[in-house]
Amino acid sequence: MDNDEMLKTILEMIEGVVGKLTSRSRESIRRELDKLRKFVMESRPPQLMILGRRGSGKSSLINAICGEKVAKTGSVLSQTGSPVWYLIETSRGKIRLLDTRGLGDETRPESANFQDCLDEIKAAVDSEVPDAILFLCKAKEVDSRVGEDVKNLQEIRRFIKDKHQYDVPVAGIVTQVDELDPKRVEPPYENEEKMANIQAAVSALQSAFKQNQIDLMRVIPISAYAEYSKDGRRIYDNYWNIDKVVEYLVEVLPKEAQLQMARIAKVRSVQASMARRVIARVATICAGIAATPIPVGDILPITAAQIGMIVSIGYISGRELSRDAAKEFLTAIGVNVGAAFVLREAARALIKFVFPGAGNAVSAGVAFAGTWGIGEAAIAYFIQGKSIEEAKRRFDDTRKKKAEEGPPENLESESVEIDGS
């Protein structure tokens, strides 16, 4: 059973028990379930449009975002000069990328003016809309005709709004800040002179955006230089603020593209934030189920949901959480699971682990706190690379904290008897 099949099975189990609930919390649980389904099961690759002059560092930025060499540095993706949608494949997922080489490219024929370039770009976004635009400008060239480029950017955004009724957000990327004086300073650029020069470049681009009334945007200065070995391993980089670019993209992308963006970029802070969205929904669902008296056998969806949460967090971290990987995690945190690991047995094991003792009354508060604890342990282990002992401590600390806070206020605190078998 692959990840998608397992998650689909889990969601169906939860849906089945939600239909039997009579509590007033049923509708709120169903809403959370619908959000979880959309977030996890309907995710798709992000679609990014990259706009910048030749030499602005487009390939370097894409490599830095993906965390691996997927575009050859020093070249452009489009070899024809015309905007083309590409599918960039990484070890953790895919990105749809529209390379717009033509805008401001002095290597094009003299007959190719800005309007020609704009017409080509409009044709490329006529049927496929970008989720966000990455507008790149070299730090040393923010005063070089950038106003003209920003005007063209705004025309593209207006076309997309008219055609697709979508206000496409913009990330204004000031690239190659490592080239600003003093060049000898390495990230995190704590040198006062260096930071002053970086801020001057940022301010220049912000001013151009403001003059052209570009909204839904943020200007981010970056370093994206990297060196790779012959086999493609990154052996050196001076990455700076790449995480800020990813954080902004995850913030503004459509919800169905956010999970894939977080997974591909492998920025831990972004992945942890994304994982906590899943935890919050699953914890609320589990609390809602536990708050309503239902037959003993139907309590399995609580732990099935927790299994699904672990699988989802593993996926966000960039791992395809196989049966063996799930078994490894569950066993390491104290759940003894036999070699013939299946979803039902894992669920039963988790019942004993999270709610120890046969016949214990499981309240909404316990289910809520226990689910949060498991989720935080999974973040610690899969995303943050903590040891299993640290993950155990995270579980205990989080469970205690959430138990004190209590479940969502709109859930009744009724209890359910659970069979300890």
Q: Tens of pLDDT along 220-242?
A: 999 999 999 988 889 999 999 99
Lowest average pLDDT, out of 127-131, 143-147, 295-299, 399-403, goes to 295-299
Cα–Cα distance, 247 to 249 (Å, whole number):
6
The confidence score (pLDDT) of residue 17 equals 65
β-pair type (234-237, 170-175): unpaired
Opening angle at CA 244, ends 239 and 248, nearest 5? 145
Q: How confident is the model at residue 167 (pLDDT cuts 50, 70, 90)?
A: very high
E strand or H helix at 226, and its extent? strand 226-228
Write out pLDDT tens, residues 59-113: 999 999 998 888 876 544 544 467 889 899 888 889 999 988 655 555 554 444 5
Average pLDDT, stretch 170-188? 96
The confidence score (pLDDT) of residue 417 equals 34
Sign of CA dihedral 293, 299, 305, 306: positive
Return the higher-pLDDT residue of 290 and 362. 290
* Gyration radius (Cα) of the chain, Å: 25
Highest mean pLDDT among 68-72, 106-110, 201-205, 294-298: 201-205
Write out pLDDT tens, residues 4-33: 676 677 777 677 767 666 556 677 778 888
The confidence score (pLDDT) of residue 92 equals 87
Supply the DSSP symbol for 360: -
Which alpha helices (H) appear in 126-221, and where do they start and end? 146-164, 192-211
Put residue 253 in one of left, alpha, beta given phi > 0 → left and psi -120 to 50 → alpha: beta
How many C-beta atoms surround the C-beta of residue 230 within 10 A? 5
97: Cβ–Cβ under 8 A, 6 or more apart, which residues?
Answer: 47, 48, 49, 50, 62, 77, 85, 86, 87, 88
The confidence score (pLDDT) of residue 337 equals 40
Average pLDDT, stretch 273-295? 82
User: How many residues are listed for the chain in this entry?
Assistant: 421
Lowest average pLDDT, out of 239-253, 261-275, 317-331, 372-386, goes to 317-331
The confidence score (pLDDT) of residue 359 equals 33
**β-strand partners of 226:** 237
Average pLDDT, stretch 331-354? 46
Return the percentage of the chain with pLDDT > 90, whole number: 43
Q: How confident is the model at residue 330 (pLDDT cuts 50, 70, 90)?
A: low
Domains in the chain, CATH or no CATH each: 3-42+267-417 (no CATH), 47-252 (3.40.50.300)
Say what angle helices 300-316 and 3-18 make with each other, to 10 degrees.
Answer: 150
Q: How far is CA 133 from CA 46, 125, 165, 253, 318, in A?
A: 11, 12, 16, 10, 24
Q: How confident is the model at residue 213 (pLDDT cuts 50, 70, 90)?
A: confident
Residue 341 reports pLDDT greater than 50: no
Opening angle at CA 207, ends 205 and 208, nearest 5? 65
Cα–Cα distance, 216 to 137 (Å, whole number):
18
Return the percentage of the chain with pLDDT > 70, whole number: 75
The confidence score (pLDDT) of residue 161 equals 96
Lowest average pLDDT, out of 65-69, 70-74, 203-207, 312-316, goes to 70-74
The confidence score (pLDDT) of residue 293 equals 60
66 Cα distance to chain centroid: 12
95 Cα distance to chain centroid: 12
278: Cβ–Cβ under 8 A, 6 or more apart, which residues?
Answer: 36, 39, 40, 309, 312, 313, 316, 375
Residue 322 reports pLDDT greater than 70: no
The confidence score (pLDDT) of residue 193 equals 97
The confidence score (pLDDT) of residue 94 equals 92
Cα–Cα distance, 102 to 332 (Å, whole number):
54
Six-digit token string for 415:
């209890």
The confidence score (pLDDT) of residue 81 equals 62
Lowest average pLDDT, out of 77-91, 177-191, 285-299, 365-379, goes to 285-299
Q: What phi, psi does 186 have (nearest 5°)?
A: -95, 160
The confidence score (pLDDT) of residue 76 equals 46
Six-digit token string for 416:
């359910």
Q: What is the mean pLDDT of the chain?
A: 80
The confidence score (pLDDT) of residue 83 equals 84
The confidence score (pLDDT) of residue 336 equals 44
9: Cβ–Cβ under 8 A, 6 or more apart, which residues?
Answer: 1, 304, 343
Residue 323 reports pLDDT greater than 80: no
